[in-house]
Chains A and B, each alone.
Chain A
Amino acid sequence: MAEMTSRERLAAVIRCEKPDRVPICPSLDFFCARYKGVVLERFVNDGDLAREALMAVWDEFGGWDATYNGSGLNQFAFSLTLPMRLKVPGRELAHDALWQFDEQPVIEVDDYDFAIAHGFQALWGKLFPKVCPNYSPAQIPELMQAWQMQTVKDTLIWEAKDVISFTGVAIVPPLDFFSMGRSMKEFTFDLYRRPEKVLAAMEAIEPALIETAIGGQMGSRQMTKHGYLTNFIGATRGSATFISPKVFEKFHWPFIKRIALGLLDAGVTPLFHFDSDWTPFLEYFQDLPKGKCVLDLDGATDIFKAKKVLGGHMCLMGDVPPAMLTLGTADQVRAYVRRLCEEVGDGGGYILGSGCSVPVDAKAENVRAIIEAGKEYGAYH
């Protein structure tokens, strides 16, 4: 088969077709900082430095098909998507510590009514001082502009290098939003104690989530050459690790489906970055249009089963597990990548990725093994 460009390769697999080779796109962020000797405090506070670390790893490891993370990560950017406090290196944590969520409820029971009455933007504004107590709400416009400018700048710099920005503009379905904001425990109680109220609040914030994603994608397309290839939809807490099919059918799937269809209507490709175990829920994804979305799994879902259920219908992505990258050997990674390419890559419709982010303490030779083995075993003959 004639050699394809990365863009053609990715477009083919999203349509569930067979390209010349399995496209490769691991999610690399904090690993790059540690590997390049950038202290994590600086990595989360200096966008240019973060991008340079990502790019240095790209160059050193020989490049791949698209950069999953075009920009670094910072606390304000996280707060746009997740109503959850972060413990940040150099502030609550040591200078070179990995940041961590501090799961304290920032959404109160009354906030369901507030969301129903006033919608997403007002709720977000109300929560902001609790999520980011170190900023004043008056700083929001300036922080927002700085983050948007950073992402545009990063995308343009990657584009100048002819590298695709795989995803951007992160949203989470309403279930994840409320579960993270309420804390998992309180949210679980709410599901039993006030289910209808929870559902109404979820419905109230849904339209703004879709509009945010579409607005962000269109903005990025206007200000860069291509914008992002997909829109990031992150979900964990509605997986089968946590909730039953009964809860899933009422509180989660209808929202996931409407969000996906809303994005597709606007010409935006949904990337389901779905961590933890979705295996019992895979059949639901057959309900979405064929060859239009990407399902990115983290090693907890049985990706080989996913291929059986969704092969030919939805592009799959994943899933070298974090423990293998940290504790395993390069040979183990190579063997696993080979199996992924042969089984999940069979007939196309597959992107080789890491399960969620490559861990900060992954062995460099294991990360390199993903790229090299992917190029070797991913070739279609």
Chain B
Amino acid sequence: MSDQLAIAISDLEEQQALKLVQARLDAGVDPLAIVNDCREGMDLVGKRYQSGEYFLSELIMAGEIFKQANALVSARFQLTAGPGRGTVVVGTVQGDIHDIGKDLVVSMLKSANYVVHDLGVDVPPEKFVETVKATGATVVGLSGLLTIGFGAMKDTVAALAVAGLRPAVKVMVGGGPVTDQVREYAGADAFGADAQAAVTLCNQWTGG
């Protein structure tokens, strides 16, 4: 990887990365190329996380730099929202208000070029159903930090089935106490141990 911007993002050099984005915009570089370089940097961040060099705090910081870089580009150009790699609905399940893990999943999926509908926290099953119907999403991510959320995960998967949507969507579950036992209980397709796992799962499912 030789691109300076991608390197700055992957090294979490916030000021340097934003300066490069601004300079390239001023020089008339294609905004999509700029965003792609940012994505390349984020991709390397993900790889470093997987290899154990980076930890959660590096993912959070990288997500913040990516967000700011995107905002700079969007302020200048109306980026036509492409189809992305796929559409994902994400939320913290009913009864649970924790959002750190969920937010990180959203940010990692966005930087991996997914269209993400973030429903926030304490999301009732019917809200997931409505959003999947309205957006045609093919992946649903359910987050929860408390054991009391396990039942809500199960209810949400059941609600998707009742609505006839289950065959068309893959469901992934994650959060502090979530294990494969929880995935089985909830009737989900997969459980992810961290935010990077959410990206890996979506890539598998969407053939990306």
Binding site for B on A (CB under 8 A): 87, 97-98, 100-103, 184-185, 188-189, 191-193, 240-244, 247, 276, 280, 299-300, 321-328, 359-362
Contacts and interface: CB of A to CB of B under 8 A. Distances in A.
A189 B55 contact: no
A203 to B, nearest CB: 20
Nearest to A189: B64
A193 B14 contact: yes
Contact of B57 (A102, A188, A327): A188
Contact of A87 (B60, B97, B179): B97
Contacts of B14: 192-193
A326 B95 contact: no
Given A192-B12, A361-B148, A100 B55 contact: no
A100 B98 contact: yes
A326 B150 CA distance: 9
Interface in B1-60: 12, 14, 52-58, 60
Nearest to B97: A100
Given A102-B97, A103-B100, A189 B61 contact: yes
Given A193-B14, A361-B148, A243 B99 contact: no
A100 B146 contact: yes
A282 to B, nearest CB: 15
Interface in B104-157: 146-148, 150-151
A244 B57 CA distance: 8
Which of B14, B52, B55, B64 has the most CB atoms of chain A within a 10 A radius of its CB?
B55
Contact of A185 (B60, B148, B177): B60
B185 interface: yes
Contacts of B99: 103
A323 B182 contact: yes
Given A192-B12, A321-B179, A361-B148, A100 B56 contact: no
13 contacts: A100-B97, A101-B98, A191-B57, A193-B14, A241-B55, A241-B56, A276-B176, A299-B177, A321-B179, A323-B182, A327-B181, A359-B147, A359-B148
A242 B54 CA distance: 9
A185 B103 contact: yes
A328 B13 CA distance: 45
A178 to B, nearest CB: 13
Given A188-B57, A191-B57, A361-B147, 14 more contacts: A97-B95, A100-B98, A100-B146, A102-B97, A185-B100, A185-B103, A188-B61, A191-B61, A192-B14, A242-B56, A323-B150, A323-B177, A359-B148, A361-B148
B179 to A, nearest CB: 5
A336 B171 CA distance: 29
A98 B12 CA distance: 38
Contacts of A241: 55-56
Give 3 nearest A-B pairs by CB, closest first: A359-B147, A326-B147, A188-B60
Interface string B66-79: 00000000000000
A244 B58 contact: yes
Contact of B60 (A102, A184, A326): A184
A189 B65 CA distance: 10
B148 A184 contact: no
Contacts of B54: 244
Q: How large is the interface on B (under 10, 10 to 19, 20 to 34, 35 or more residues)?
A: 20 to 34
Nearest to B53: A244
Contacts of A191: 57, 61
A323 B177 CA distance: 6
Contacts of B100: 103, 184-185
Contacts of B185: 327
Nearest to B151: A361
Contacts of A244: 53-55, 57-58
A280 B58 CA distance: 16
A241 B54 CA distance: 10
B93 interface: no
Given A184-B60, A185-B103, A327-B182, A240 B55 contact: yes
B189 interface: no
Contacts of B177: 299, 321-323, 359
B55 A323 contact: no
Contacts of A193: 14
Interface string B174-208: 00111101100100000000000000000000000
Contacts of A188: 57, 60-61
A278 B56 CA distance: 13
Contact of A328 (B52, B61, B181): B181
A88 B60 CA distance: 28
B87 to A, nearest CB: 25
Contacts of A98: 146, 148
A327 B147 CA distance: 9
Nearest to A328: B181
Contacts of B176: 276, 300
Contacts of B97: 87, 100, 102
A247 B58 CA distance: 10
A236 B95 CA distance: 22
Nearest to A325: B147
Contacts of B12: 192
A240 B54 CA distance: 10
A355 to B, nearest CB: 9
A249 B165 CA distance: 48
B174 to A, nearest CB: 13
